[in-house]
Amino acid sequence: MSAVEAGGEGAGAPSQAIIQVTDLVTHYGDRQILKSVDFSVNRGEIMVVMGGSGSGKSTLLRHLLALEKATSGRIVVDGVDIGSASRKQLTELRKGIGVAFQGGALLSSMSVADNVKLPLRQHTRLNEDTIDIMARLKLELMNLSGCEDLMPAELSGGMLKRTGLARAVVMDPKLLFFDEPSAGLDPVTSVELDDLILKLREAVNITMVVVTHELESAFKIADRITVLFDGEIAKVGTPEEIRACDDERVQNMINRRPRKDPVDANKYLNRLTAGAR
C-alpha cells in the first residue's frame, strides 16, 4: 500500500514518517497564521498537537487534510505531496485516512447507521449485509449499539463525537485525525473518549494525530506532543520532555498561566480594524 514515492528531493526523512511537513507558511486573508512549521509524525504513534486558541493548530489540521491551500511549504502524507497531488491521487489517499471532526460533522439527513456506512457504500463493493456488520462492529466499539436508527439531531455532544469517530475508522484507515476530542464535553465523557482512543490504537494499531487544548487528555494519550504557539512550533517531544521543557511559552501553557505579553495599542487597533474589513 504505502508506496513511498516521496523519496524524491526534500523529503529525505526516514520512511517511518507518515506525515512530513516542511516549512509550511499559511495565510488567512492577509493574516499570517502559520510561520514556517516543520512537523512530522511517525507510523504507529499518537501525536498530539497542542496550543491555545489562535495558535494555528486547527489550521495545521486543515492543511494536513488538504482542505486549504498553503502559501508555501510542502506537506507529504503517506508518500503523496498534497500541494501537487491530482484529484485522483487525493481521492486514493483520503480513502486510507479517517477524520473525526469536532462536532462529529454527521450528515444531518441520515441516520447514525447510514452515516457510518457512507464511506463503505461509496468506496467499496461490499454487499449490504457485510456493510451492516462492519458498521455495527464499529458502533459497538464506540459504545453506541442501539443508536443505529437515531438521527444526528437526537444525539448528545459526546455521542455525536463518538459516531463521527466510528465513521472515521469504519474503513480501517492507517491514519486517523481527531479534532478536539474533549471540547465541549463534561470531564467524565471526555475521559471515556480518551480511553476509547487508546482502545482503538490497541485494536487496530493506527497512526493518530489529535488536535486538542486539553492538557490532561493530551498527556494521557500522547506518544509525542507538538506545542504550537502563535503559528510557530514551540516544542516537540514526549509528554515527559514537554513537562520538563523550560521554554516559557510551554510552561505557561502547562501551568495555565495567561499570556502576559504587553499589548501594543497600535497593533491591537490594527487587529480590530482588520477584523472589520
- Site residues (vs another protein, CB under 8 A): 30, 62, 65, 67, 90-92, 94-95, 97, 99, 101-108, 118-119, 122-123, 164, 167, 177, 277
What's the min distance (Å) between Cβ of 103 and another protein? 6
Cβ atoms of 76 and 6 closer than 8 Å: yes
The 8-class DSSP code of residue 44 comes to T
Q: Which residue, 29 or 258, is less far from another protein as judged by CB?
A: 29
Q: Which residue, 121 or 199, is less far from another protein as judged by CB?
A: 121
What's the min distance (Å) between Cβ of 98 and another protein? 8
What is the distance between the alpha carbons of residues 191 and 182, in angstroms, rounded to a whole number? 8
What's the min distance (Å) between Cβ of 242 and another protein? 28
Q: Which residue, 206 or 250, is less far from another protein as judged by CB?
A: 206
Angle, helices 128-141 vs 112-123, to 10°: value is 130
What's the min distance (Å) between Cβ of 122 and another protein? 5
What is the distance between the alpha carbons of residues 111 and 240, in angstroms, rounded to a whole number? 42
Residue whose C-alpha is closest to residue 183's, from 212, 163, 142, 225: 212
Amino acid at 275: G
The CA–CA distances, whole Å, from 133 to 83, 145, 204, 247 equal 37, 12, 17, 49
What's the min distance (Å) between Cβ of 59 and another protein? 13
Secondary structure of residue 7 in the 3-state scheme: helix
Q: Which residue, 263 or 276, is less far from another protein as judged by CB?
A: 276
Q: Which residue, 212 or 224, is less far from another protein as judged by CB?
A: 212
Region of residue 12 (phi > 0: left; psi between -120 and 50: alpha; otherwise: beta): left
